[in-house]
Amino acid sequence: MQVLRSYLNAFHPLPDAAFGALVQRLEPVACSRRAVMTAEGETQRNLLFILEGIQYSYYLDEAGRQHVVAFTYPVSVSGLPESFLTQRPARYYLEALTDTQALCLSFRDLQQLYDEFPSIERLFRKLAETLLIGMVDRQHEWLTTSAEERFRNLARRSPHLFRQVPHRLLASYLRIDATNFSRFFNSVKV
């Protein structure tokens, strides 16, 4: 639990009572490699705190082609945020790319924790703000930088993904054609 506490403290430190109440509501979950954790049309009922493994979210276009939206890995929060926050059916998928160990917190339990502990509500507000800023930064990067710059930025931010994630998925995430991705991979030191 110390790893989780350190992760959460980076957003907003919780008093011991609030952290204890949060931990009491967490349930361990394990998913095997390639398990669909939430499918399109299902509602994301639990927020996940990833302890081990890599997950990715993606959607399928009308031709059935996969387009990667995001990757999550330890220690971080994972899920399909708009489905979880609205409790509406997801428009895309969350899948375990590798065997995954996580702690899950139900939407209902989180709402109860908000009512009971303002510090938990503040923590999750700050966490959501950080995730939103990250998403906006990625959108800006995709719209304003070259394919090679996007490749270099990901290599700098998350070099471990190049060893653990199929390159076709990284190319999709970066909005780079597979041939260019291969060229960058062979010429840029990761």
Q: Give the model's pLDDT for residue 188.
A: 85
- The single residue listed with the structure tokens 């507000």 is 125
Q: Give the model's pLDDT for residue 22.
A: 98
Q: Give the model's pLDDT for residue 122.
A: 98
Q: Give the model's pLDDT for residue 18.
A: 98
Strand 46-52 versus strand 36-38 pairing type = unpaired
Cβ atoms of 26 and 104 closer than 8 Å: yes
List of domains in the chain: 2-117 (2.60.120.10)
Of 30, 82, 26, residue with least CA distance to 57: 82
H or E segment and range at residue 49: strand 46-52
User: pLDDT (tens digit, 9 = 90+) per residue, 78-114?
Assistant: 999 999 999 999 999 999 999 999 999 999 999 999 9
DSSP helix, strand, coil percent of the chain (3-state; round to 5)? 50, 25, 25
Residue 15, phi then psi, degrees to nearest 5:
-60, 155
Residues in the chain, pLDDT under 50: none
Of 73, 60, 28, 24, residue with least CA distance to 46: 28
pTM of the model: 0.91
Q: Give the model's pLDDT for residue 109.
A: 98
